[in-house]
Structures are given as structure tokens and as C-alpha cells.
Chain A
Amino acid sequence: MALHHIIEVESLKKVFQVGKVDVPALRGVDLCVEAGEFLAVIGPSGSGKSTLFHIIGGLTSPSAGRVLVDGVDLASLGDAGRTRLRKEKVGFVFQRFNLLPTLTAQGNVDVARDIAGDFSHYQAAHFQEIVKMLGIERRLHHRPAELSGGEQQRVAIARALVNGPAILLADEPTGNLDSENSQAVLEVLRSLNRRLGQTILMITHNPEAAGFAHRTVTMRDGRMVS
């Protein structure tokens, strides 16, 4: 049976213009991710990990190369198309949680659904299972300031998954957590992957965290080195 590649990256390049200087962030990256895979991306600062994520997640466009996300060619998308991609197919989890401070946890989740609108693949029963797996049922009516770091990150994961995205992009999800909370979050991500088949790409500096993934790839100087 042919494997379904949910992400296909081929000869991906990204050049940023800083003043009058061209700064190459990605110098030709090739990557394939199967549906249901948990992939860790490691590498030193400046290796291009976050840029790769930003392109796959539709936050910025590639300079050259081919990127397919769940069958959608990102090179063919303009700003509106990439915005739609983020609504429909991508969920982000950030190092700094990035919850909206004026809303409760439930409110943060609801905003994601509101934004996605008709593009949401929300399924109540499925989402309840996610919430239970994350262990945040009793914390949903609290604002971020009333939650611990680990709880905030789990709410952020719930928000990222509420619309049933094809892929979850986690950029250093344990970077701002202590070891106990880091462990809890990583175990949650692994559970989501194993039990619900969620495709997850995770950036991490921590080799132990990378160990939670099926596979690890290493980036250096804008290239995939292993």
C-alpha cells in the first residue's frame, strides 16, 4: 500500500531581505512526512527550523521549491490562500503559548473555531476526547493568567486541534516549561499521535524531547543534514 505523504517538501529555499542584504534561511530542503507521523526537527539556532515551520504552516511563502501540505501546493497560494490553509489544515503550538490574555481557555478555543468558520472540521466527540486527554476539562473557564505554564500549553494544544487540522506544528512546545511540565506535554503529544493518529511536527533543541517522536531530522545552515 502506498504511504500517504501529508507533507512533501522539495528543494525548498527561502531568502529574507534584511535591508539590502539577502539572507538565505533555507538553502534547498527536502522532506516527506507521512500521515500520522510524529517528526522531530532539531538543529542549532539559525539552522532554519522555524522558517521551515513558518512555510509549511503558511505564515510565509517559499522563495523557491515545492511544498505540498495535504495535497495543497503552497507555491500556488497567495496571502488569502495561506490564511485559509491555516484555518483548515494547520494547528500551531508555540514556545510562548500565545494564548489571548483577555479570554478564558474556552474562549481561546472558541476564537479558533470562530475564525475557521466553515473551514473547521470540528467534531464534538473527538474534541472532548482531546480535552480529556489533555486533562484540562476543569480549567477551561480560567484565564491564562490563572493557569500554570503546563496548563497554558495544553490549552494551546487544544486550540490548535479544535478544527481538526491535518498537521500540528509545535515550535519548541516545552521551551518555557520546567521538566515536569515538559514531560507532561510531550506525553500528551505522543498520546495524540498514537491514539488519534495526529500528524505532528515538533521543533526542539532537546534530544530527550526528540526521543518522543517516531523520527528525528537535523537541520544546519538552512539544510537538512540527516
Chain B
Amino acid sequence: MVVNNLARRPVRTALSMLAVLIEVVLIISVVGLVRGLLDEGARRQQGIGADIVVQPPGASVFMGLSSATMPVKMGDVLGQVPGVTAVTPVYFQSFGGLTLAYGIDSESFRAVSGGFQVLQGRTIQGGYEVMIDDVYAAENKVKVGDRRELWGHDFTVAGIVEHGKGARLFVPLATVQQLSGSQDKASIFYLRVAGPQDLGPVLARFKSMLPGYNIRSMAEMTSLMMAGNLPGVKPFERIMIAIAVVIGFLVIFLAMYTTVLERTREIGILKSLGASKSYIVNVILRETVLVALAGIALGIGASLLMRHVVLHNFRTLAILITPGWMLRASLIAIGGALLGAFYPALRAARQDPIEALAYE
């Protein structure tokens, strides 16, 4: 009976499923995009291979959100601390809005990170050269030898490297310092220590040497960058989820309300056969659950397809779709749908059978 009832009004059933689909896609995709981007950024920081990160006072863990700098020479002092095996200064500068380029000293960066895996061309040597990662190269269809305009200057692509070490673009440190008028400045220092046993003492020493500076282990820094720890992310997610739930709730409510009105006589017939209030509610809610399940399945499929299409065209994006969030989105969608159907179901159950049977 439930399936037949849904099939009887295919357009309304399809629209209800669509509302649930949109709800699920909205939840999974928005959460997936936010978390994906944040977590992907954290992974690229980890990929540098540093143990300790030093930033000036007031700097954000999200590179590019602040322009505070430190003297490059501070790196020499930090490098003298027992237990430190390598130090590299990085000056980052954004371009084109959100994209960040790292100005690096190739030799010291190699000492900390172990160097780049060069896929094409070579590493940067100086001047107006840029090295890009393979993800950026693929998205922007850039190859070795091409010219890219950065900060009003033409840079030549010297090499394409494997992604995963901080930024997607790397230029010589001196070049970007000069272009930004920040000679001898660094935005951040990355350091390596000799072994795990040195981490704690070195951190303590740095903190006593540089009070007020942001001195963290890489683990601590990337933890702060993860979506779950960033202030504002959870409230944002909750707002998006609430919007999605309201969409699903409203459409299901309206669909079920009109369904109940249209089927007043049928409800009267069921009651004349001895159907209890709970039976009537059960029928309505079962129809709702079936619609929701179909919408959820389609929504998850659509989310995965959308992710595939988006990442195929925008490789620098990251959309994190986890089984946990698929389950959460499903439960939220079912909950919202049942909530939307509840009042119409109760209304159906409370109808007077004689009036319902006489309804035209």
C-alpha cells in the first residue's frame, strides 16, 4: 500500500525525494569542502617534514591571514640551540586571492624537508623563477618553460614537483622579499630536531628565548588547522545543516499535508476497517521514510559524483566525504523528513471517520 500510494503521485514523490537529495548534498558537500580544504592544508604543512614551527606574535596558523614577519637572521640564532639540526625561513605571499606562494631558500628548505621530488624540469635557482606542484600544474595546464604573472612580474616555470610540501608555488626567497619590500624578513621558520627526545627541550628553550612568539610543534600546529579545532567551523557547519534540514522539512511537510488532504476519504475507509490512529500515523511515516531513503541514496550518489566532477576540474580543491558524515547526513535527513511528516500524520489520524468518508 505504501509503495502504491507513492507511485500514485509520481511528481510529488519525486519532488519530495529531490528535497531530501538537496538536503543531503548540501550537508555532505559543504562540510566536505570546508573540512577538506582545512585538512588538506594541514597535511601539506605536515608534508614539509619539520618538527617545529616558529611564527611571529599575532600570526595565524593559516598562512596568508597575517603579514607579520621576523628577521631572517633569527633563524641563525634558532639553529644554534642544541638539538636543532636544520632551520629554513619561508616568506609567503598570496596572489590571485587565496593562492599562496612560498619564498624559500632552496638549500635550507631541502635540509628541513628532504627536498622536492622533481617531476619535470628542475628546482628554482634564483631570479624570476617559479616551481609549481603537479596539482596546480594540472588544474592550470601549466608546463615547464611557461610564464606566469605573479605580483606584476613574469616568472618562468622552472620545474613541476610532487605536491604536499606547504604551498603549491615556490619562488626564490630573495625575489619575493624584494618584490614585497620585506628584505631580510621571514614569515615563518621551519625547524628539524635531532630526535623525538629533543622536541620538548627545544620547544621550551625557544619559548623562553622568544616570549610572545607562536612556537609550536608541527603536530600541534596541524591539529589547530584541522577543521574540528578551528573556531567558527562547527557553528558554520551547524548553520548549513540547519538550513538543509529546514529545506527538507518544509518540502516534506507540504507534500505530506497535501497527501493527507487528498486521501481524506481513504483514511476514512481505513478507519472504517478498524485502523487505529497509530496505524494511520504508521502508514504516513512509512511513506515518508521510503521517500527519505530514496532521496538519501540519490543524495549520496550525487555528492560523490559532484565531488568527482569538481575535483576533476579544480584539482587544488579538496572535498572530504567520509562514511561518518554520510551517515550523519542520512540520519539528519530522515529526522527532518519524519519531523515534517509528523503533523500531517497526526492530522490524518485524528480525522473523524464519518466526515472523512463523506469527503469529496
Contact = CB atoms under 8 A, between A and B. Distances in A.
B197 interface: no
A88 B272 contact: no
B305 to A, nearest CB: 33
Q: Which residue, of B268, B269, B275, has the highest number of chain A Cβ atoms within 10 A?
A: B269
Given A98-B265, A100-B266, A102-B8, A115 B274 contact: yes
Q: Which residue, of A59, A85, A107, A119, has the highest number of chain B Cβ atoms within 10 A?
A: A59
Contacts of A90: 274
Contacts of B64: none
Nearest to A120: B274
B279 A115 contact: yes
Contacts, number: 64
B273 interface: yes
B274 A87 contact: yes
Nearest to A57: B272
A94 B357 contact: yes
B310 interface: no
Contacts of B274: 83-88, 90, 112, 115-116, 119
A146 to B, nearest CB: 14
Nearest to B353: A59
A59 B268 CA distance: 10
B150 to A, nearest CB: 66
A60 B272 CA distance: 11
A84 to B, nearest CB: 7
Contacts of A100: 1, 266, 269-270
A86 B272 contact: yes
A105 B145 CA distance: 77
B354 interface: yes
B275 A115 contact: yes
Nearest to A97: B269
Contact of B354 (A60, A84, A98, A111): A60
In the complex, the 5 A-B pairs of residues with the closest C-beta atoms, listed nearest first: A87-B274, A102-B4, A86-B274, A98-B269, A115-B275
Interface of A: 54, 57, 59-60, 79-80, 83-88, 90, 92, 94, 98-103, 107, 111-112, 115-116, 119, 159
